[in-house]
Structure 1
Amino acid sequence: MGRLSGRRAVVTGGANGVGRGIATAFAREGCDVFFTALSDASAARETAAELREHGVRAEYLLLDGADPAAPGRLMDEATRALGLIDVLVNNAATLTRTAYLDITPEQYDQVMTVNLRFPFFLTQAFAARLRAAGAPGSVINISSISATKAVSAMAHYQCSKAGLSMLTRGAAYELAPDGIRVNTISPGLTATKANAAQWRDDPGVWHERSKDIPLGRPGRPGDLAGAAVFLASAESAWMTGGDIVVDGGSAAV
């Protein structure tokens, strides 16, 4: 415990699912956390209270990543609340399962804006503040094995995640002289509130997809937490531009 003592993190989409799992793991390790939620104020309050039970500061902001002003506003609010932020987790994402020929320009733009444009410019705002302060930091992008492995009815999502994975490499290269590391976690099929309609309402399809996972089950939000703590900590000090795949073995087959 205490591997992240003294750190201050921003976690987008931190009120539920993978983001909440990461935020909770950070708090357990002594990290102050500022997280965002799209609109679920009740879940955000509950998450903040849970994080504070670990003796850390925890604040949140209801924020739509599709808003062009969101990156600057988030960094301003987080800095005011906690001080200089030195860990950023780009987790917030959106997804509509739509056949390729039926994807509308509006659906495409929404997915690309939230999943790629928002983390692109949020990372920029985060890094600019660290550079001005002469301080190091860590960016963790939550991508997906869908960035490299085709899945039906998710072409726009897959493009956004492939772009996010490439953002990791480009930003890692350019920000390395500033001591700012950028890495990716690529989850496999994971049960979250966002995809509840799949695993709860269509268990047959979920079971069929799960058969391709060598470890025999879909992921849970907490399954990604250890990798995130590692990338946020000094234990990964000589790692940037990398990708940790957490998928139950899906990418191996």
Structure 2
Amino acid sequence: MDRLKGRRAVVTGGANGIGRAIAVAFAREGCEVFFTALADAEAAQATLAELREHGVRADFALLDGADPDGAGKLMAAAVAALGTPDVLVNNAATMTRTAFLDLTPEEYERVMAVNLRFPFFATQAFAARLRAEGAPGSVINISSVSAFKAVSKMAHYQSSKAGLSMLTRSAAYELAPYGIRVNTISPGLTATKANSPQWRDDPALWHERGKDIPLGRPGRPEDYAGAAVFLASDESSWMTGADLILDGGDAAV
């Protein structure tokens, strides 16, 4: 415990799912947390209350990652709430399922804006502030095994995640001289709000999708929290540009 005591983290998309699990794990380790939510103020308030139960400062803002000025607004709000952050978790994402030949430019642009452009410029704003202060930091990008494993009706989403994974490597290389590390967590099949119609409304389909995973089940949001704490802490101080694939062993077979 207290591995992140005295640190400040920004977690985008922190009101639900993987983002919330990471935010709570950070707070449990003594980290102050600022998080964003798209529009679910009720879920955001519930997450905020849980974070504060751990005795840390916490706050949130409603923010759409598709906003062209979103990265600047994110950093300004985070600094106003907690001060300069030490950790940035780029978790906010959007996903739709549309056949490649039916995909519209509007749908493509929104997915790319939220999943790639927003974390790109959020990372830039975060790193620029740390460089100006001569402080180290850690960026954690939440990508997906979809970045390298094709499935149908997901070309736009998979392209955005592949870009995010490459952003990790590029930014890690350029930001290393400033002591800013950048790493990826790539989740496998996981029960989240985005795919809730499957695991809530069609549990038989969900079981069918997960039965061939070597560890015997799909992931849960909490399965990624420990890795995020590790990447945010000094325990990973010589680690940058890496991709932690957490998928129950699915990529191994």
SS at match of 1:71: helix
Cα displacement string for residues 114-164 of structure 1 (whole angstroms, at most 9, x for unaligned residues): 000000000000000000000000000000001001112111100000000
- Worse overlay, 148-157 or 235-244: 148-157
SS at match of 2:201: coil
Cα displacement string for residues 81-127 of structure 1 (whole angstroms, at most 9, x for unaligned residues): 10111100000000001111111111111100000000000000000
Please give the alpha-carbon distance, in whole angstroms, between the structure 2 residues aligned to 1:100 and 1:83: 43
The structural deviation recorded for 1:194 is: 1.9
The structural deviation recorded for 1:39 is: 0.3
The structural deviation recorded for 1:3 is: 0.1
Q: Is 1:7 paired with 2:33?
A: no
Partner of 1:178: 178
Partner of 1:79: 79
SS at match of 2:167: helix
Equivalences for residues 223-238 of structure 1 within 5 A? 223-238=223-238
The structural deviation recorded for 1:190 is: 0.4
Partner of 1:206: 206
- Unaligned 5+ segments in structure 1 are none
Partner of 1:27: 27
Partner of 1:53: 53
Question: 1:114 is aligned with what amino acid?
Answer: V
Cα displacement string for residues 165-209 of structure 1 (whole angstroms, at most 9, x for unaligned residues): 000000000000000000000000000122101212233432222
Please give the alpha-carbon distance, in whole angstroms, between the structure 1 residues aligned to 2:249 and 2:102: 31
Partner of 2:63: 63
Equivalences for residues 126-145 of structure 1 within 5 A? 126-145=126-145
Question: 2:179 is aligned with what amino acid?
Answer: G
Please give the alpha-carbon distance, in whole angstroms, between the structure 1 residues aligned to 2:80 and 2:30: 19
Please give the alpha-carbon distance, in whole angstroms, between the structure 1 residues aligned to 2:38 and 2:131: 29
Please give the alpha-carbon distance, in whole angstroms, between the structure 2 residues aligned to 1:97 and 1:144: 15
SS at match of 1:200: helix
Task: Return the TM-score normalized by structure 1.
Answer: 0.98
Task: Return the TM-score normalized by structure 2.
Answer: 0.98
SS at match of 1:64: coil
Partner of 1:105: 105
Question: 2:122 is aligned with what amino acid?
Answer: L
The structural deviation recorded for 1:212 is: 2.7
Percent identical pairs in the alignment equals: 79
Please give the alpha-carbon distance, in whole angstroms, between the structure 2 residues aligned to 1:111 and 1:33: 26
Question: 1:8 is aligned with what amino acid?
Answer: R
- Unaligned 5+ segments in structure 2 are none
Please give the alpha-carbon distance, in whole angstroms, between the structure 2 residues aligned to 1:88 and 1:162: 19
Please give the alpha-carbon distance, in whole angstroms, between the structure 2 residues aligned to 1:120 and 1:98: 24
